[in-house]
Each structure stands twice: as C-alpha cells, then as structure tokens.
Amino acid sequence: MISVQQARQFIHRYAHPLPPMLKSLPLASGLVLAREVKSPSDYPLYDVSAMDGYALKSSDVRKASLSGPIYLKLRGTQHAGDTLGMKIKPGECRKVMTGGVIPAGADAVLEREVVVEKDGMAVITQAMAKGRHIRYRGEGIKKGAAALKAGSILHSRAIGFLASLGVSKVWVRSVPQVALIITGNELVTPGKKLKPGQIYNSNQWMLETALRESGIQPHLVSNAPDRPALLKNKIKNALSDCDVLLLVGGVSVGDSDFSKPILEALGVRRVFWRVSQKPGFPLYFGSKDKTLVFGLPGNPASAWVNFYEYVMPCLRALRGLPIGPRTMKATLTTDGPHRGFKTLFLKARFRKNGGLFQADLLKGQGSHLLQSLAEGNCLAVVPSGKGRIKKGEKIEIHPLPTGKSS
Ligand code: AMP
Ligand code: MG
C-alpha cells in the first residue's frame, strides 16, 4: 500500500504528453498546442482604418473648428479589401471604410458622423492628433513573434486568433484513446428491469460523462460480467489499441474480483495497487507498452473520486496540460470524522463568504452514496493524522467540475 502522494508521483512518472501531430486548425478545437506558434505575418497586415471616415493629413486640419472649417478635396473611396495604390497630397482626403487601407500620405481618420460633404469636398470642423482611428501594421503582433505558447488550449478565441494570422495548421498533442470497461454480474442499464439482486450501473454513464468533461470521447465503452474468459477477451482487445484503459470493478479481494490477475496475465505490469485513502483504497495502476491501465474499485463514489484525483490528472498530462487537481483552502463549518491512517476525500460543498472560502462536510460519505457527490461541489482532503476534524479548521479542498460548458 502506498500514500496518496506516492500514487500521484507514480502516475506523473508514467503519464508523458502524447506525440505531437499536425492538424488542420478548425479540427484542432479543444486540443493542446504541442509547439509554440510564431506569427507568420504582422497583424494587422496593413495600416487600416478603425472607422468608417475620412483619411487625411492631420497637419492640414490643425486649425479646423466649427467656426473655421477646412475644406479638403475628396479623392474617392477606399473600401476594405481594395488594393493599396493611391497617395493623398496636401489639401486632399479619401473616404475610407473600416478595414480599408490608409492611403499613403494620410495619418489620421476622422469619423464619418462629424464630416459633411459639399461639392466634392469634405468639410472638416475639428483638429485631430496624428494616428487617430488608425490601426497600424504590426501593432497587434509582429511577424516571427510568439503568438501562442505550447500548452495553450485551442478554444474558439485561440483558433480565431491563429486564423487571423493566416495559420492553417498547428502541432497539437493527440487526445488519448480511452477504453472504459465496466465489470459486474449485478449491473443493469438504467431504464431496464432489475431482477432480484441486481442494481443499476451508475459508473458507466458517470464515467463516460466525466471523460467528456475532461475533453475526451471514450473510443470504447463496454460491459463485462465477472466471467474470467469473457473479461479477458474484452480486456485484451481494449489493451491493443488504447492509451488508457479504465477497468471498473473487480480490483479488490473478493471471489469475483478478476481484474488484476487477468491484467497481469495479459502482460500488464503493476505499478501499484492499493492507496492509503478513503474512499477508493483498492485503486490499481499499471502499464503495458504505451497503454496505462487504471483498475478502479466499483463502488460509485470510490470510482469517481479515483477518476478525479488520479485518472483526470493522468489524462491531462497525456494531453499536454498542467495536471491538477486544482486546490484551494477553505474553513470547515462543521465537525468531521476522526482522522486515521488513510487520507480522506470527503464530499463537501464550499462557497465564498466575505473573500474567504467556507466548506460544509456533507452527510452520506459512504462510497456507495452518490447524492452527496451530486450535490457537493468539492472534495475536502484530510491527510492522515490523529484527532477529530473540527469546525473552524482550514482544510484543502479540490473544487469539482460543474458540468457547465464554460
Ligand atoms: P467491486 O469493486 O466490483 O467489488 O464492486 C464494489 C461495489 O460496487 C459492489 O457493491 C458493486 O455492486 C458496486 N458496483 C460495482 N460496479 C458498479 C457500477 N458500475 N455501478 C454501480 N455500482 C457498482
Ligand atoms: Mg464487481
């Protein structure tokens, strides 16, 4: 048996970012940049107008006022997308639309709303500073400068930004291929009728959702009864083509717990089994070639806590992301159980109170109980030790995913 910290260290040691691959930008949504992107061009690429208005020489209108307007000769219109081309001479201006290239010689734009046109002239009634309403070439980013760092997630804003620079392909980390196998003779899909002794399979839908919350669509989801030959076949197939295998149930010491011996008969090397924690003590972790294998205990809260504390950080590491879990400190508003030999992950609910975080420990800490996990929003982490956990203590909490699309 090992400690929570040792278990984390082992997983970090095995979970290396997956190899980079070149991906077309629109298909890279949600992936993680494997290499820094340098800007292939200046942005903006030209000096352009920020407004619909008139491009002029600011020196021509230095003395313009309502009582002393200045008339500039209007030299046509520059739309967004028009070629560069013309040059403004003293006493002239050119109408320019937002995104239109500023004509050579002009150094400011006066917005359309404050200009009237009369007999081919623009009537200017105010002076303005050089540079007004001009977006200068390269003011956002210069060619060759770092645009996005390795490790950035390609969300919509990042994809928009890279597209604006003309980037069409990016080096990203592959997303791990994850197989999920749920074991247990007693399990029935919700919606179907239970026979005596059977229970609903909560782990499958819960862990599929947890994977999706971690940015991963499992490529194989399968159920298996506690029948060694059948189970072995399923595990063998899954092992051959996934980066991570999640095998749920059957990792403890019961007579129908076949997961470990089968994994090891198939060549999986055990890294650890059993972590000094509650819930989720019989956690198994091993590897075979490129595949990392987690054996999660089947009690639903144990399975979920182990997923959140170990599997999710592992998946993040494979994707090239900082591993987590995110930690915060909160003050307990309730007394808790006695500390003991094991680290406790307690279902809890935290909130902000005057700039500080407070956490209530919830009823229903049993590893078979999910309501407290469903209603909670964090795990309170209590290291091993002595004495009762007391109201008012400052404690580490791990905020849980909210499921909201953020
Ligand atoms: P196991 O880890 O297979 O020994 O299972 C431990 C406990 O969790 C048993 O009471 C199982 O019935 C229950 N269990 C196992 N798998 C699931 C599942 N997918 N959904 C709900 N309960 C489960
Ligand atoms: Mg079982």
* Burial class of residue 118 (count of CB atoms within 10 Å of its CB; 0-12, 13-18, 19+): exposed
Distance 265 CA to ligand 2 centre (A): 19
Q: How many helices (H) and strands (E) does the chain have?
A: 8, 26
Give the CA distances from residue 244 to residues 180, 211, 287, 314, 392, in Å, rounded to whole numbers and listed in that order.
Answer: 9, 12, 9, 9, 40
User: What number does the ligand 1 atom closest to the CA of 202 have?
Assistant: 20
Where does ligand 1 bind, in terms of residues with CB under 6 Å?
Answer: 182, 184, 186-187, 199, 201-204, 248-250, 252, 254, 257, 297-300
Distance 292 CA to ligand 1 centre (A): 22
Ligand nearest to the CA of 181: 1
Distance 187 CA to ligand 2 centre (A): 9
Instruction: Kindly write down the DSSP assignment for every residue of 234-303, as one continuous string.
Output: HHHHHHHT-SEEEEES--SSSTT--HHHHHHHTTPEEEEE-BSEES-TT-EEEEETTEEEEEE-SSHHHH
CA 344 – CA 228 distance, rounded (Å): 33
Q: Name the residue at shortest CA distance from atom 15 of ligand 1.
A: 298
Whole-number pLDDT of residue 79: 97
User: What number does the ligand 1 atom closest to the CA of 203 have?
Assistant: 19
- Do 209 and 232 contact (CB within 8 A), yes or no? no
Distance 354 CA to ligand 2 centre (A): 46
Residue to substitute in 199, 200, 247, 304 for testing ligand 1 pocket (most ligand atoms within 8 angstroms of CB): 199
Backbone φ and ψ for 338, nearest 5 degrees, come out as -75, 145
Whole-number pLDDT of residue 404: 65
pTM (predicted TM-score): 0.89
DSSP state of 190: B
Distance 288 CA to ligand 1 centre (A): 25
Q: Would the CA dihedral through 107, 113, 118, 120 be positive or negative?
A: positive
Distance 66 CA to ligand 1 centre (A): 82
- Per-position pLDDT tens, the chain of length 406: 999 999 999 999 999 999 999 999 999 999 999 999 999 999 999 999 999 999 999 999 999 999 999 999 999 999 999 998 789 999 999 999 999 999 999 999 999 999 999 999 999 999 999 999 999 999 999 999 999 999 999 999 999 999 999 999 999 999 999 999 999 999 999 999 999 999 999 999 999 999 999 999 999 999 999 999 999 999 999 999 899 999 999 999 999 999 999 999 999 999 999 999 999 999 999 999 999 999 999 999 999 999 999 999 999 999 999 887 789 999 999 999 999 999 999 999 999 999 899 999 999 999 999 999 999 999 999 999 999 999 999 999 999 988 765 4
Q: Which residues surround ligand 2, an ion (CB under 5 A)?
A: 184, 249-250, 298
User: What number does the ligand 1 atom closest to the CA of 282 have?
Assistant: 2
Ligand nearest to the CA of 226: 2
Distance 188 CA to ligand 2 centre (A): 13
Whole-number pLDDT of residue 289: 95
Whole-number pLDDT of residue 406: 44
Residue to substitute in 187, 226, 253, 305 for testing ligand 1 pocket (most ligand atoms within 8 angstroms of CB): 187
At position 172, the amino acid (one-letter code) is: V
- Do 18 and 172 contact (CB within 8 A), yes or no? no
Distance 203 CA to ligand 1 centre (A): 8
Q: At what angle do helices 312-319 and 4-14 cross, to 10 degrees?
A: 30
Q: Name the residue at shortest CA distance from atom 16 of ligand 1.
A: 298
CA 165 – CA 366 distance, rounded (Å): 53
Ligand nearest to the CA of 295: 1
CA 180 – CA 148 distance, rounded (Å): 34
Backbone φ and ψ for 377, nearest 5 degrees, come out as -135, 10
The residue behind tokens 């197939």 is 237
Residue to substitute in 299, 302, 305, 306 for testing ligand 1 pocket (most ligand atoms within 8 angstroms of CB): 299
Distance 244 CA to ligand 2 centre (A): 20
